Amino acid sequence: MALIELNGVTKYYEMGDQVVKALDGIDIDVEKNDYLAFIGSSGSGKSTMLNILGCLDKPTSGQYHLNGKNVESLDPNELSEIRNLEIGFIFQSFNLLPRATALGNVMQPLVYRSIGYRKRKEMAMESLERVGLGDRVDHLPNQLSGGQRQRVAIARALVTHPSILLADEPTGNLDSQTTIEIMQLFDELHAEGHTLIVVTHEDEIAQHCHRVVEMKDGKVFNDSTTNSAAVTS
């Protein structure tokens, strides 16, 4: 069984008297330990795909199974639980709490799991050490570089041990050298067995992944493996 299964998924929006087909009949499987990029121009459907995969929105029609669960049949509370248990989000803008330390930001997702403070702190420390920030745990976001803030965001995504890491333009606000460092970290996470899905408009970032799904007009235009996959296989 695939980790993610999309069968005939559509997402339509009504805009005045027009219907916009943001997703128009998507069939795709994502296996455990896939390293996949969704790529496409503005309006291709990749942002809507992100919202569907991240359980932030539900399909108009079709089926979405995540780890065997039929997502489109769930109510808002159940969707929230799925997001907390199954998905680690990494955003372009980091989305860190400005008045919380790196440690506090990484501990935040664990609050909703009824885990005691000492255990939350231990898990967050392990996650920050994993991304190379064991010496920055008491720093606020404005005391960290862009790359360090993105590492905090990755540590926060990892701390819940999710089924998938979903990264939305994760290098969009970073310089070229920091981008290389973050993508190397993604490589390491994939090698450890994590499933990564990256949404990007940058072909260079997409080619760093092992599989590229190109979207156009709400459809899958192309689905192929990359040279990166051949190098590591």
Summarised one tens digit per residue, pLDDT across range 132-185 is 999 999 999 999 999 999 999 999 999 999 999 999 999 988 999 999 999 999
Fold of 33-59+76-232: Rossmann fold (3.40.50)
The 3-state DSSP class for residue 43 equals coil
| Exposure string for 180-197, b = 16+ CB within 10 A, e = fewer | ebbbebbbebbeeebbbb
Q: Where are the domains of the chain?
A: 33-59+76-232
Both tokens of 92, joined, read 């372009």
Within 8 A by CB and 6+ apart from 54, the residues are: 83, 87, 89, 166
Report field, pTM of the whole predicted structure over 0.85: yes
- The backbone torsions φ and ψ at residue 152, rounded to the nearest 5 degrees and listed phi first, read -60, -45
- Band of pLDDT at residue 233, cut at 50, 70 and 90: low
Both tokens of 144, joined, read 């960290």
Question: Contact, 92 vs 170, CB < 8 A?
Answer: yes
pLDDT at position 232: 60
Summarised one tens digit per residue, pLDDT across range 27-47 is 999 999 999 999 998 889 998
